[in-house]
Every structure is written in C-alpha cells, then in structure tokens.
Homo-oligomer: A and B are copies of this chain.
Amino acid sequence: MDDRFLYERISQRLLEQIGAGTFTVGQKLPSVRRMSELFKVSVNTVMQSYRQLEAEGYLDIRPQSGVYVRRSDIHDIPEPDGSRYPLLPVEVSLSEQVLHYMELHADPDMTRLGIALPGPEVLPVDRVMATLRDVTRHHGLEVWDYMHPNGHTLFTHHLARRSLSYQVPVTADDIIVTSGTMEALSLALRSVSRPGDTVAVESPTYYGSLLLLETHQRKVVEVPTHPRYGISLTALEKVFQRGGVAACMVSPNAQNPLGFTMSEERKQALVALSARYQVPLIENDVWGDTVYQDGALPAKAFDKEGLVLYCNSFSKTLMPGLRIGWAAAGRFQKRFRELKQLSTITSTSISQIVMGRLLESGFYAQHQRDLRGHLSQQVEAMATEVRRWFPEGTRLTRPTGGCVLWVRLPGKVDTVTLFQRAAAQGIHVFPGGVFSLENKHADYIRLNAGSAVTAPVRRALRWLGETAAGLAAG
C-alpha cells in the first residue's frame, strides 16, 4: 500500500465506524497514540487523518482534551411515494440513452463506477483461465460441437443441485442453458407475452429489463418498490386485480439498483399473488449469489404452480465473458426452449463445461463466500466516501447484496449533466433516469462498488460529490 495514502485509509475506516454508529456525535475517539498502535502507523499519520477529518467537519480536535465526533451523516433513502405512481401501462423508449451510457464501459481508462460488476481482482480470473485450458485438453470434441439445446448435463446437473433446499426443487430437465441472463430474460418474456401486452415491473428496476420491454413492444406498469422490503405487494395486487397484465418481472434478491433482499415471507406472498391471479413471474436472480447473508432463496423456491420463470447466470459472480446463463421456465419450458433454439441454437459449450467443473469441485461455492465478503466491504467503504464527499441532503441505500449504491442527490438536479461532466473527467457513472420511466429517478445516480475503494476511486467520488454540490447550489 502506498504510504502517502495510509492516513487516507485510516480516515476511511474511522468514517465507516462513525457511519455505522460505533462512534456517535459527541463521543471521544481513541487517542493519537492508541490509534498509532492500533493501525501500526506513526503518530504523524494518525494526526494527518484527524486533521483531514476535522477540515471536512467530521471531527473536533480539542487541545488538552481529545478528538470528538462532530457530524455523523447517516443517509437513507425514504420509502418511495406510492402516490406518484399512476399504475397505468406506459410505452418504453429508453434505448438511445442507455446505449450511450453503456458505451463508456469499454474504455479502459475510465474509473468504472458505471456498469454494475465486481472487478476482476475479486473474481478468480486465473482459476477460470486454467480451467478453460484444462477443458480444451480433455473435452476438445464436446467443445467443438453444437451442444444439446438444453445444455451440458454436467452443468445442468450441478445447477439443479443448488435447488435442494427449495420447497419446490428444480431438476436438471427443468433447466435450459442460455447465452447469459439477458437472453434468458428475453426468452422468458417472449414465452409468456406478445407485442402490445403489458408487463408489471419494480420501480426503480434494472434498465436492461426496461429496454427488453421496449424492444419487444411491451407496455410497462411500474409498481412502487421499497428500498428495504421490495416491490409493494398491495400495489401489485391492485394491478393484477385490474387485469390485462401478461407477466411481472422481479428481482427479489439483491435487487439492482436498490440492493434490497425480500424476506422469505414476502417472497412467498409474491409467488402466492402470482398464483392467485395466474400471472407469470419472471425472476431475475443474477445478483442472488451475492446476498451478503447466507441462505437467501429465490422466489422460484416456492413455485408450486410452475408460474415462475427463473433466470440467472454467473456473469456477476464469476465472469461476464463466459456468456452463459440459464432458466427454469416452469410450465412455459417447452415454448422457452423453442425460442432458445431459434435465438442462438445452443450456448457456448466450453463455458458450460468450465462452469460445470467449477460447481462440481466446490470451488464456486467457496468463491461465492469470499465474494460476498469483498462486495459488502467495498460497498460499505464506498458508502463511507459518499457520506464524506457528497452534499448535505444526499440519500443513500444500504444494500444487502450486490455491489451498487443508489444515491439521490439534493436540489432536484438532473444527473445526466453530472454523467456528462464526469465522463469528461474519465469517470463512468450511471444516471438514474433510465431505471424507471418518465424520468422518475432523474436525480439519482447508481455507483458500482465492484472494486476496492482505491485512491483514484476516492478522488472520483470526491469529484462527484463536489460537482453534485455545485449543481445543487445552482
């Protein structure tokens, strides 16, 4: 670690503890000497950190007395206001914007706070590459050929095993391998609805779902979604009652961008609602494996009637470049499979065998535990920086999984301006407007905490916070 930033790291840790309530406003912090022992750094380094935090208004340094906490800004997002939602079908037209925002991810010089994705340093790139090599040596002909449309049995078999603890387990035969989650969602949508149909979605939701609905000419009903509890079941039932809804797209685990994980009871209630009104649920569980607490089940686990079309991949937890995902489409499996064959015939053989082996050996399960730890730490570290640099009045989620923060800026600024200025500075963030329709979340940004909060990331967050303050002021 670069010594120049040692004091920065101490400041960050202190702010995390203040943010978490370990030290409250008015409380005295450990002495400079104690801190230098704790962190194994010089007294000077601790003083540098304390002075920095004093300058930022977080601490009071009282000579002859000690160092006290002065401010502890714990932001939280207020519950979305249900009354803003007309619950009426709307047409989507976001694609131009989103594709523009996504472009920047390919630029290697950007500070990558845009696309929601863990960095390669917390994912086992070398292990995957070694497995790829091994598979080319021992499975050449299988890798070469078209694979069975449903997928490679080693892979589907181990996927099925993951559902052992479900109330309604999934078998290998229930699974169809796809080219990533996006293809799974797209085929699921097409399996249960037609152009012109209306689909209910969480609001805010993953922009990719909205684009999918746009491109397939589906109309959208946005359902208010709470940053801690998830989609409003009351509002959803109202929508179902009124009828004319072909499906509902949800993400009950570590939802993007809000980061909530629905409780088991609420997941069961959601599935029951779908069964009562016979409306299929398309479940996007791509962040499910990152829920920080162990044992989060998908809604699919409670799907007695085969109405849940479960979609997932390892793009967010192992390697996006694998381009494989899978679906368990319940009673719509036959139609789903037809559409799959006509979309991309089969999915990359080599990726399926690699993934099958990483599941088989137990490597993936171990990695998943490590990844959760990394992501929750990184998200907390980034939240600390946001609290530190962003203006008064900023709101911030407390994710239970995944690696994004959903941040509301004060002053009703349109974050597209912030996006543009940031891009010019080499900083890639995602403006909030595309996570819902009619610009409902135009004053939000989404930040990716997929990588550690290093000095360049800290500088980027500081720049974003200061620029947001400037925009809010006028």
Contacts and interface: CB of A to CB of B under 8 A. Distances in A.
Interface of A: 95, 99, 102-103, 105-106, 115, 117, 120, 123, 125-126, 128-130, 132-133, 136-137, 140-149, 179-180, 182-183, 186, 194-195, 208, 211-212, 215, 217, 315, 319-323, 337-339, 341-351
A144 B322 CA distance: 7
A316 B142 CA distance: 15
A423 to B, nearest CB: 16
A344 B146 contact: no
B145 A129 contact: no
Contacts of A106: 147-149
Contacts of A144: 120, 123, 125, 128, 319-321
A92 to B, nearest CB: 11
Given A321-B349, A349-B321, A182 B344 contact: yes
Given A183-B343, A215-B342, 13 more contacts: A99-B149, A99-B338, A105-B146, A132-B350, A144-B319, A145-B320, A182-B343, A211-B342, A212-B342, A215-B338, A343-B343, A348-B348, A348-B351
Contacts of A147: 106, 321
Nearest 6 A-B pairs (CB), nearest first? A106-B148, A129-B136, A321-B349, A179-B344, A146-B320, A323-B348
B145 A342 contact: no
Given A147-B321, A323-B348, A342 B208 contact: yes
A119 to B, nearest CB: 10
A353 B470 CA distance: 44
Contacts of A347: 179, 323
A350 B143 CA distance: 13
Given A120-B145, A144-B120, A348-B351, A341 B128 contact: no
Contacts of A217: 194
A382 to B, nearest CB: 21
Given A146-B105, A321-B147, A140 B126 contact: yes
Contacts of A117: 146
B341 A99 contact: yes
A99 B337 CA distance: 9
A355 to B, nearest CB: 13
Contact of A350 (B95, B142, B350): B350
B102 A342 contact: no
A136 B321 CA distance: 12
Max chain B CB contacts within 10 Å: which of A130, A180, A339? A180
Contacts of A102: 149, 341
Given A129-B136, A140-B126, A146-B115, A183 B344 contact: yes
A106 B141 CA distance: 13
Contacts of A129: 136-137, 140, 143
B338 A95 contact: yes
A345 B116 CA distance: 14
Max chain B CB contacts within 10 Å: which of A106, A342, A347? A342
A103 B337 CA distance: 12
A302 to B, nearest CB: 29
28 contacts: A95-B338, A95-B342, A99-B149, A99-B337, A102-B341, A106-B149, A115-B146, A125-B140, A129-B140, A133-B133, A133-B136, A143-B321, A144-B319, A144-B320, A146-B321, A147-B321, A186-B342, A194-B217, A208-B342, A211-B341, A215-B338, A321-B349, A322-B348, A323-B347, A323-B349, A348-B348, A348-B351, A350-B350
Contacts of A215: 338-339, 342
Contacts of A319: 143-144
A102 B130 CA distance: 33
A306 to B, nearest CB: 20
Contacts of A182: 342-345
A151 to B, nearest CB: 11
Nearest to A325: B344
A215 B102 CA distance: 29
A133 B133 CA distance: 5
Contacts of A322: 348
A123 B319 CA distance: 29
A421 B315 CA distance: 44
Nearest to A208: B342
A175 B433 CA distance: 30
Nearest to A146: B320
A217 B195 CA distance: 10
